[in-house]
Amino acid sequence: MDNLHTVRLRMRQNPLMVVGAIVCLVWIVISMAAGDLAPYHPLEQSVMERLQAPSSDHLFGTDQLGRDVLSRVLYGGRTSLPAGLLVVTSAMLVGTAFGAVAGYMGGMWDELLMRFTEVFMAFPIIILAMAIAAALGPNVTNAVIAMSVVWWPNYARIVRSLVISVKSDAYVESARAIGSSPVRILLITILPNCVAPALVMATLDIGNAILIFAGLSFLGLGPEPSSPEWGRMVSDGIDYFDQWWLSTFPGLAIFTVVMALNFVGDGMRDLLDPRTRKQIG
């Protein structure tokens, strides 16, 4: 990164990234302040007011138990956002460990670790996660564990290829020449140079993780039935088809968050990719 001025210049050339960042921030603030913002308690039932269309009392209407949909949507980010972040973080840690060792050691270790990674890559994420989540018992923690188990191989792959491309660089040679230990070379000399691409991938990935998490929870393999979680709320709408607001609003919440994250991820990739940077000038 050259200096603040060029960064600002590129931001202006990439308005979508700015929009995405703002939307992300707004959702983070909403999730943290949900207690103050929500007009009702997300679990408060009112049988008299069940399945009411959006009105001035209930801007997003009410669900089958008379709970305020708006309040539940505002609270929903408290589950989905940390879940997505957690899955990607743990996947990145595990994947980096595997990929770094495989790439640095090379030879038999590389072969062995990468074959192991391939095995996990061959499973479709949602089916394996579904099996794990179902077997461990459906709740948020288990859904996150299940997803992390299937999420790390991509990071292992990308970090491995980065480490391989960096490890023959001159500065790594010189670190070796002055007698640094392999662990030190890997952790201090090589890995910091591989962080940026992995981070871009992670940003692009959080949205994906939120999508899959919502999918699991839609299938009933995430949070418990009553909890205000977006995927779960969309699935409530299946049984009440005429009441469109039940599934439309929580779905929109997932959609806007993921879209904003994609804007940011795209922008970050453009900023860090020297090829597109050259074109910007």
Please give the residue ranges that form the binding site for other proteins (CB under 8 A).
Answer: 115-116, 118-128, 130-137, 207, 211, 214-215, 218-221, 231, 234-235, 237-238, 241-242, 244, 247-248, 251, 254-255, 258-259, 262-263, 266, 275
Q: How far is the CB of 268 from other proteins (least distance, A)?
A: 15
Q: How far is the CB of 181 from other proteins (least distance, A)?
A: 32
Structure tokens at 239: 């049984």
Burial class (CB in 10 A: 0-12, 13-18, 19+), 212: buried
Q: Residue 93 or 127: which CB sits closer to other proteins? A: 127
Q: How far is the CB of 95 from other proteins (least distance, A)?
A: 16
Q: How far is the CB of 210 from other proteins (least distance, A)?
A: 9
Q: Residue 99 or 138: which CB sits closer to other proteins? A: 138
Rounded CA gap, 118 and 255, in Å? 31
Q: Residue 37 or 128: which CB sits closer to other proteins? A: 128
List the Cα angle 214/254/246 in 5-degree steps.
85
Taking the alpha carbons of 156, 159, 162, 163 in that order, is the dihedral positive or negative?
negative
Longest dimension (CA), the chain: 77
Q: How far is the CB of 63 from other proteins (least distance, A)?
A: 15
Q: How far is the CB of 134 from other proteins (least distance, A)?
A: 4
Q: Residue 186 or 258: which CB sits closer to other proteins? A: 258
Rounded CA gap, 114 and 118, in Å? 6
Q: Residue 79 or 189: which CB sits closer to other proteins? A: 79
Contacts of 160 (CB under 8 A, 6+ apart): 98, 99, 100, 102, 103, 110, 114
Q: Residue 197 or 220: which CB sits closer to other proteins? A: 220
Q: How far is the CB of 103 from other proteins (least distance, A)?
A: 20
Distances (CA, A) of 141 to 61, 132, 137, 252: 30, 12, 10, 24
Q: Residue 85 or 116: which CB sits closer to other proteins? A: 116
Q: Residue 62 or 235: which CB sits closer to other proteins? A: 235
Nearest CA among 234, 229, 214, 212 for reference residue 126: 212
Buried b / exposed e over 61-99, threshold 16 CB at 10 Å, is bbbeebbbbbbbbbbbbbbbbebbebbbebbbebbbebb
Q: How far is the CB of 266 from other proteins (least distance, A)?
A: 8
